[in-house]
Structure formats: C-alpha cells, structure tokens
Structure 1
Amino acid sequence: MTSTALITDDLTAGAPVHAPAGTGEWWRDAVIYQVYPRSFADGNGDGIGDLAGVTAKLDHLKALGVDAVWLSPFYRSPQKDAGYDVADYRDIDPLFGTLADFDEMLAGAHERGLRIIVDLVPNHSSDQHVWFQEALAAAPGSAARDRYMFRDGRGPGGDEPPNNWQSIFGGPAWTRLAPRDGDGPLGPQWYLHLFDSSQPDLNWENPEVREEFEAVLRFWLDRGVDGFRVDVAHGMIKAPGLPDWEGQVAMVEGTVEEPTSNPGAPEDGSTGAGNHGPMFDQDGVHEIYRAWHQVLAEYDGDRCLVAEAWVEPLSRLARYVRPDEMHQAFNFSFLTTPWDAARMRSVVDVSFSTMDAVGAPTTWVLSNHDVVRHVSRLGLAEVASGPLNGIGANDPQPDPELGLRRARAATLLMLGLPGSAYLYQGEELGLPDHTALPDDVRQDPAFFRTGGVEAGRDGCRVPLPWVGGAPGNGFGPTGKTWLPQPAVYAELAADQQYGVEGSTYEMYRTALQLRRTEKIGGGALSWVTSLVDSPDVVAFQAAGVVVLANLGDSPVPLPAGSEVLVASGELVTWAGAVAVPEDTTVWLRA
C-alpha cells in the first residue's frame, strides 16, 4: 500500500453544494430516534415492550442527545403485522398500555425537551377494523364496500383475481370473499391488499376515507403530538382501472442492486430501492398531503409530516416535500448506497440538489424496523450494501468486527451531514441483527407468505439489552422477551457502555453533542477539493467541521496539527503522520 501525506491545504473545501434554508423549523436539522415499542423496554413483565417502558427510558434518550422520538404503531390491532394492521386509529392496544399511559409518556418527553412523532398507517387498515367488518356484511356496490378496494373477479364466474398484482409480502394481492346468498353473477368479490390479507387497502378516492384520516390527525394533534411518520406514503392512490403490471413487485424493504465491478455513480442517485408499478407513486397522493399540510398548519409548534416513500429517482421523492405538502421524506437511496466513495458522494450531491430545489431538508437514515441493521449489512463482504429483507441462519453470515467498524464509520459520516438524521433504537449500542433466529419463533408475515424465501424483519426487531447478563438483559422485570436475543447482546447492553471510552454509545453521544454545539445540522456543505474524485475517501466540510471517511483499505494521513473531534475507530501512525485507517471516519477542526 502506498499513500501520499496530506498538507493542510489538502482539506480546503470548495464552493458550497448545499446551503441551509434558514427558516428555523425544528425538524429541519433534528436528530430523530425511532422507538419500536414492542422491542424497546418492557414495563409490565409480559416480555413485550410498552409505553410504560418508553417512559422509563426517556432519560436514556435525553442523555444520548436526540431531539425527537418517532414511535412505531401502538394502536389497537390484532398484531398480524406487528401493529401495522390497525383496528382502531384512536386507541392504544392493551399490549402497549392505555391512552393515559400515552399521555404520561408524551408529557414526560416534552418535559425533557423531546418531541414525539407517531406512526400513521393510511394505505390499509386491519381486517378487524369496524369499517371492513361492515364491508364484509354489506352488498357489492354499497357505501361500506366503497371505503376499500373491492372488485369483481375476472374469467367465468369471476374466479380469477381482478388483476395480476402481487403482495409485497409475497403471494397474490387479492383475496376472495367466501360465497354467500346474494352474490352477483360473478360470485363473491375480491379485495385488494398490497401487504398481508389481513390488511385490506383503503380506497383513497372515497371522500369519507379522506375525512376520517383528517379527523384522526386532529385527534392526535389535539393530544399534543409533534408530527406523523406516514407509512407507505407512496401507495395510497392506484392507477385508474388497476391495470395489470408485468414488473416484479419487491418488498418495500427490497434487496437493492448489487454493484458491478465498475459501477460508477448514478447521476440521479438511484440505488434500485424504489418501488414501481401502477400501485405506487401516483400523482394523486399529493392532493392528500396538501390537505394534511393545511390541517397541521392550524396547530402551533411546527408540527411535521414525514413520508415513508420508497421512491426513486430522488427527483420523484422531492415531490413529496414541496412547500405545501410533507416536511420530510426518508432518504432510502442513501440507506441503500453501497460502501463505495463515488456512490456515496453521488447520492449526497443529488439528495441536496433535489431537496434544496423544493426548500426541504434532506433526511439521512441507515437502519429502521424494516431493514437489516447496518452493523450486519455492512459486515457482509460479498454485498457492498447488504441485503435488506433479513438474514437467516443458513445465509452467509456477517463478519461482526467488519460490520461494527463500517457501521460506526457510516454513522459518523451520516451525522456529519447537514439536514435531519434518523436513528433506529439500539444502533447507539452497535447492535447487530439476530441472524440465527429459529424459524419457529419468527412472526413477520413476509416469512410465511414467501414460504421462508424471505427471512423477514424479525432479526432487526429483537428486544433491546439494557443490563448485560441480567435475565433478558434487563429488557423487563421478568426476563421474558418476545423474541430471543443473541448472546452478543449481553456485552453490548447499555449499562456495559455508559461512560466507557470508545464504546459505540459514547461515540454516538459525543457526535450528537458536537453536532448540536457546532450547528452541523443547519450548516452548509462543501466537498474537500483535493479528495472530490478519490476512489476511497469521502471528505466534506459542514459548518466548519471537516468530516473525512476512509472507505478504502489504505490509511489516509492527516495534516500535522489536526484537531480530531471524534473518530469512529482508533487512528494509526502512517508515513510518520497520524492517519485514518480503513473503514474509519473522523471529524476534524477545519
């Protein structure tokens, strides 16, 4: 390996490629922490996390240094898809507590200066929702059925589905009702479900559906929530006529393209993570969000809407965050970018240019409840960006040391980018997926609907470890956990990392503190001129801090006298200078 020592001028930044909007809303530069309630902390000892557990751990979140908390669904639900099958949008499922528990948690968060974003699931409801039960009892063509996507079948007797769409979880996207007296000449109707058969799609062309969800927004806004993360935000409107589509319907959390030997950097930032077809990203969704924007504007406190939209290219995603629509959209193109310097610079460039063009902040995210944790994804040497749909016991297993080293480096790179950043619970502990879960404990419908072809998302949803070596690693008072934890969780537990120099928790806490004091989230960004074409290094200046990530396998010497603010790993001596080793990121004083 060879290297040329850098001099101070080598870290000089060029012209800004991003300048902040400067309008001051809190969500423009916030760090938002996702809580997946059933796996965060268990307050009552039943082995399932709950709102009381969230309240008990608010001090952990405050000390970590995040600005807001996004809670995955806690609504009343049969839990066929871990709460993303909602039976009542205005109540708490008994698994998680009561509305009083929610109010206590919300008040506790606000007392600590933490804002609360709740999940909203508008594309579909549970089949146990009162509306769907009414639709089952009603006749074809009735007002009750028009709230959902009921259709007559094709072929003799209506025995074939209305079109050839496939469920994102595997299998057909249509289920036929049971025969009954009064069926028409084409027999029982079919209903659409882009996900599990227990999750019928709502008909967003129906004014009653739109009125109901605006009322649901007001219900939670009146309770004091600070915003909504909108599930499948790109899927609510379907193309007129529901035409057949021959394309492959991948999971929302679908596997991204594998890099070729000379992949280059796509000019539009695409990584293959977007959903396509007549069931996604239809222009009609934007009318819905303009109406929701007006609802939120009636409330003080800069309430926000966040789109979960697996849409590419990024120019299409930017349409969701135009000034009169939503406020943020998850940047899944960034999440799925391979461990490659040129591609990383490309997706950052395009993210800023497209979002700046509509006056919206760029959001950055590496993990969530739907994808393999980035510690595990980046530990798979054969796939530069890693699989997203789960890793099973018989799949190639990640290298834990490589994965953690790259994950820490990726995190510091992400937190150094202006805009808003999302963290997934437990990533501050360096948690990997449970990649060896027995099949008999799995609960993800994607595993069952694909006959086990997809391992599913259970591996990233394992209950958190709070006290290493305690029963259940301190997840709750009884030691029960609704999914088993891998053995490594004992040494990664929160209590094993608090105050420990070099621990992943302390790296996160230090970076978040610096991000706030240096005002990085609201700053401008410029590329370091001398490294803008480097095959191995991503280097930029944000708000006066230089962020240098070495994605290659040769150390990168730093200029003499560099003030290192935080590093993702131990620095080394190389060519007589302090150097950044492979798969390591540093923040420097410019």
Structure 2
Amino acid sequence: MRRSSDLQPEIADESAWWRDAVFYQVYVRSFADSDGDGVGDLDGIRSRLGYLELLGVDALWLTPFYTSPMADHGYDVADPRDVDPLFGDLAAFDRLVAEAHKHNIRVTVDLVPNHTSDRHEWFQAALRSAPGSFERDRYFFRDGQGYDGSQPPNNWTSVFGGPAWTRVPDGQWYLHLFAPEQPDLNWDHPEVPADLVRTLRFWLDRGVDGFRIDVAHGMAKPYGLPNMDPRAAQGSGVMHDNSLDPRFDNDAVHEVHRLIRKVVDEYPGRMAIGEIWVKEDERFARYIRPDELHLGFNFRLVEAPFDADAVRSAIEHSLAAVQPHRTPPTWTLSNHDVPRHVTRYGGGALGVQRARAMALVQLALPGVVYLYNGEELGLPNVELPEWALQDPMWVRSGHTERGRDGCRVPLPWEGDTPPFGFSTGAGTWLPQPNEWAGLTAESQLEDPESMLSLYRHAVELRKTHGSISGEEVEWYGAPAGCFAFRRKGGGLICALNTSGGPVPLPPGEVLLSSGPMDGDQLPPDTAVWLV
C-alpha cells in the first residue's frame, strides 16, 4: 500500500470520484429493518441497495452503528470499532460494503471524535480513578467553583440544554458539550489521537470509502476553558460564532483534521467530510485546506428560507468559502438534525411544491450533493405525540424543545398502513403516520409526476447531460423574488421563482421543471432547467 509520503494531497486530483458525487444519508435506525424489531439495521440497508441504485446515488453516508447505549441514538459511542447488536455485526457490515460496491455505490461512515459514551471503558476507568490521574486526563475533569466546589467550573452550556458539566461523587465535574452520557475527550492526551488512528484504519481496512466527521468544529478546547459570552447563540441548528463562543472552532482543531487527512491519504480514493457549523466563510475555508478535510458541510442552504435572495446569498457564500482551495462546495437541504425542508418551506402542498423547486436548484449546482433519506419521497416532519419523543434534547430542555425525532421517523416503503414495509414487526421505534400511505416508495416509483420520479430524473440528467458541467456559476438579471444562474462550462440555466406571480422564462429549451409550466412563464414556487 502506498503511504502518504508518496501521494500528493487528493485535492489536486480533478477527477476524484467525490468531487461531484451525489451522496445519500442513511439514518440507520430509520431506513429499513431486517429482523422485525422495529429498528433499522445493516442488513435492512443491504436489502434496499437496488432502490438506491435506481435512485442513482453514488455513495452512502451511514450514521453511527457502533456499540452504544443509545443515549443519543448512536452518537454516544462505547466501542468505535464494533457494530452494536441492534444493527447487526461486523459480518453484516462487511456484506453491506461488498454488495454496495457491486451496485457501484460507495460507503462512507460516521466518525465521532469529539466525545465518547459514558459507558466507554476509558470513562469507566476515569470514574474509578483519582482526580489528576492519567485516566481522568483523557477527558475534562475539573474542580468546581465556590467555597465547596458546588458550582460548575465555567458557564458553558450543553447544546442539548442545561449546563455542560456534570458532577461525580468525589466532587469533581466533567465536561460534556452534548448529553451527560457523552463526555468530551481531551485531545491533548496522547492516547486520544492514537485511538482515532486505530479506528480510521480499522474501517478503511474493511473497505469503507470515507468518513463524515461529526462535530468537526469541536474537539479542541481553549487553554483554561474561559467562559462563553452570554450572547453566544445556542443550539445545534445555529451557525457557530467563534468570536463569542470558545466551546467550538478553536484553532487547534485543525491539527486533528491534519491527522485524519494523513491517515486517509494512505488509502487512495478515500475521502473525509466535516460537519462544520461555523459562521464566517474564512473560518470555514480553514477546514478544507489541502492537508485537511476533502470536503466540508456548509449549512447555509439549510438555514436559508424559501426566498430567492436568501438562497442566492447562501449559494454565493458557499462558493466563496471553498474558492481559495478549489475544493468543491457541498449542498444539502436536510439531515437528521434539522426539520425536513418540506415542513420548513411551509408544509402541505405548498411545502412539497417548494421542496421540488429547491431539489432542482440543489442538483443544478456544481460540487457535491447530500440527500437525506426520505427527502426523495417528499416526507415532511412528523408532529409526534409527547410519549413517543426520545431525543435527549426533549429531556434536557425540560420538555420545552421537542428535539429532532420528527425528521427521523422510519421510511415508508410499500403498502397502505404502518409499518409500510419498513419492518416485518408491527411497531417501529418512532410511530409512522397513517397519512404516509400516499408517500411510499412503491406508490411513487411508477408515477412520473411523483417527487421520487423528479429526483430520479434530475440525478440522471446531472450525471449524463453535457450542459450540467463546469465548476462556476454565472448569475443573470432576474425579476424581484427570482434568480437564474448558468453553469459556466456546460451552459445549463437554472431559474427559481419565489415571488407571488409568474415571471418570463429566460431563453432556452426546458429540460426539466419542478412543476407544471405556464407557456413561456415560470409559475411561483417553481424551478426550471433550461438548455
């Protein structure tokens, strides 16, 4: 195997497979259940590879399937180099990778380097050890403030609500930027990076094609753990502001990404993408320097409302952020942490119409696209009953924040009643609404007007039509509430109308539209591709 010293950074490879790939995020719990327990698993994913090939995706991103007590549905990892029995075993993982590759679909997996589970052997050893010990130094254990140490060491809050500190019986406190069951690792401890290298190589040797780095702007903590500015925005759905909040985006985090890149480059053709919730384009660009991550999730499009000016601004910022390093931009409209965009854009028929339009905008852009499982079916968020909510955010917020369960409901595959072919059992880990009968993959496959057919058609054209090429976009003049851009290189024009009335189409022949056209007019809440 060639080592990293023999390789130029892969960013120099203009033909790397990931530079214009369509990825599909599989939220493993909610994709397909093979054993009837109501929870999705690895064999369930394998059983639906034919569907994914039909959809036309190039690669999968699997959310964590590692050994975990499931306090945060797998993002609390007790053993990063094994499969939780809930999802299968290592043999099931190997079968999935092998069969996905036969379908010409690559497989990337989640990596969770910011924290472990509180059940991880390291944290259990820390609890058994004395303050100041080698074992405790793998995490952030600190004495409390106040005359009796009964106050947390600083004012940091958890992303899930409440303080970021929990006290242990001997009086010390430990840091967790998420749930108390997710203690943060200390990356200055020599065993922490060494263990990550073992994890990377373990999965790379099993044939994975890359990694998605969870909380890629986390890991590094500033010396002395200074207080955060009370004005700092809270919540995982908000862009991080480095100037106010020392919890994330510390400059030392880039050493972690250089380490990851060095290992990944030992395996030609593999890649890494980071989850990067940072505000400034310049700070985002640091994560995708040639010796760091290949790609970065830029969430501006997720945060943009359905408004042409806001969407255009999100696109321009996303392009500007990657331009210095000639890294492809990455586009996504939904994921497992944010409300589904059908709901964000207004819900009901209006939300679906707007989601169809934004699908064409997203798939017309240069770079990399990430789809979230179920968006190709037009699934909305589900307003779940309180008894069904499981997200730690619901508990940590004192039942004031409903959390992310509404975008994680298991997918409907076929039939007229729950569980819609998701499971052979009667129940699912989150309940599916009866109204999804008309949104099943089965009901949409043969319907040329369905959301699924739109996605299939758009993905196919994106891969095969000569007009959809070139790394830059050129903006046209457009009426208020609208925009139009052209792909420089291929010539595709994409126009979006978010205004209240129809507007004249740009010149060209219609290649694909998100809804019915009105002669030479582009109707409201509609997008079109022209050549």
TM range (shorter): over 0.9
Aligned to 1:511: 458
Q: CA deviation at 1:244?
A: 1.1
Pairwise CA RMSD? 1.6
Deviation readout 1:136-192 (Å, 9 max, x if unpaired) = 00111111111001111111121111101111100110000013xxxxxxxx21000
Structure 2 counterpart SS, 1:540: strand
Aligned to 2:509: 563
Aligned to 2:5: none
8 Å Cα contact 2:240-2:248 kept in structure 1: no
Residue in structure 1 matching 2:256, options 265, 285, 288: 288
Aligned to 1:235: 218
What is the letter of the counterpart of residue 247 of structure 1? P
Q: CA deviation at 1:52?
A: 0.7
Q: Distance in 2 between matches of 1:546 and 1:520?
A: 9
What is the letter of the counterpart of residue 222 of structure 1? D
Structure 1 counterpart SS, 2:119: coil
8 Å Cα contact 1:470-1:479 kept in structure 2: no
Q: Distance in 2 between matches of 1:320 and 1:58?
A: 32
Aligned to 1:383: none
What is the letter of the counterpart of residue 567 of structure 1? S
Aligned to 1:13: none
8 Å Cα contact 1:322-1:359 kept in structure 2: no
Q: Distance in 2 between matches of 1:176 and 1:485?
A: 38
- The 4+ residue runs of structure 1 with deviation greater than 4 A are 248-252, 272-276, 519-522
8 Å Cα contact 2:24-2:59 kept in structure 1: yes
Residue in structure 1 matching 2:292, options 313, 320, 325: 325
Q: Distance in 2 between matches of 1:250 and 1:98?
A: 40
TM-score of the superposed pair, with normalisation by structure 2: 0.95
Deviation readout 1:372-397 (Å, 9 max, x if unpaired) = 00000111xxxxxxxxxxxxxxxxxx
Q: CA deviation at 1:572?
A: 1.7
Deviation readout 1:316-362 (Å, 9 max, x if unpaired) = 11110011100111111121012222222222222212202112110
Distance 1:520 1:235, change over 3 A: farther
- 2:148 is aligned with 1:157: yes
Q: CA deviation at 1:68?
A: 0.3
TM-score of the superposed pair, with normalisation by structure 1: 0.85
Distance 1:73 1:374, change over 3 A: same
Q: CA deviation at 1:21?
A: 7.8
8 Å Cα contact 1:29-1:522 kept in structure 2: no
Q: Distance in 1 between matches of 2:92 and 2:119?
A: 24
Aligned to 1:585: 527
Residue in structure 2 matching 1:338, options 291, 305, 310: 305
Aligned to 2:426: 479
Aligned to 1:421: 369
8 Å Cα contact 1:29-1:521 kept in structure 2: no
What is the letter of the counterpart of residue 569 of structure 1? G
What is the letter of the counterpart of residue 249 of structure 2? D
Q: Distance in 2 between matches of 1:331 and 1:169?
A: 21
- 2:438 is aligned with 1:491: yes
Deviation readout 1:43-63 (Å, 9 max, x if unpaired) = 000000000100000111110
User: Share of identical aligned residues, percent?
Assistant: 53
Aligned to 1:541: 486
Flag structure 2 segments of 5+ consecutive residues without an equivalent. 1-10
Structure 1 counterpart SS, 2:370: strand
Aligned to 1:268: none
Aligned to 2:125: 134
Q: CA deviation at 1:566?
A: 1.2
8 Å Cα contact 1:22-1:522 kept in structure 2: no
> 65-74 or 540-549: which moved more?
540-549
Structure 2 counterpart SS, 1:280: coil
Q: CA deviation at 1:536?
A: 1.4
Q: Distance in 1 between matches of 2:475 and 2:468?
A: 18
Deviation readout 1:248-269 (Å, 9 max, x if unpaired) = 5555533x6xxxxxxxxxxxxx
Structure 2 counterpart SS, 1:462: coil
Q: Distance in 1 between matches of 2:285 and 2:145?
A: 38
Distance 1:115 1:251, change over 3 A: farther
8 Å Cα contact 1:168-1:249 kept in structure 2: no
What is the letter of the counterpart of residue 321 of structure 2? T
Aligned to 2:245: 277
> 285-294 or 83-92: which moved more?
285-294
8 Å Cα contact 2:233-2:240 kept in structure 1: no
Q: CA deviation at 1:439?
A: 0.7
Deviation readout 1:188-232 (Å, 9 max, x if unpaired) = 210000000000000011111011101100000000101110111
Structure 2 counterpart SS, 1:342: helix
What is the letter of the counterpart of residue 400 of structure 1? G
Q: CA deviation at 1:274?
A: 5.3
Aligned to 1:453: 400
Deviation readout 1:516-555 (Å, 9 max, x if unpaired) = 0126775233334332xx4211211122211111111111
Aligned to 2:318: 351
Aligned residues: 518
Residue in structure 2 matching 1:400, options 348, 352, 366: 348
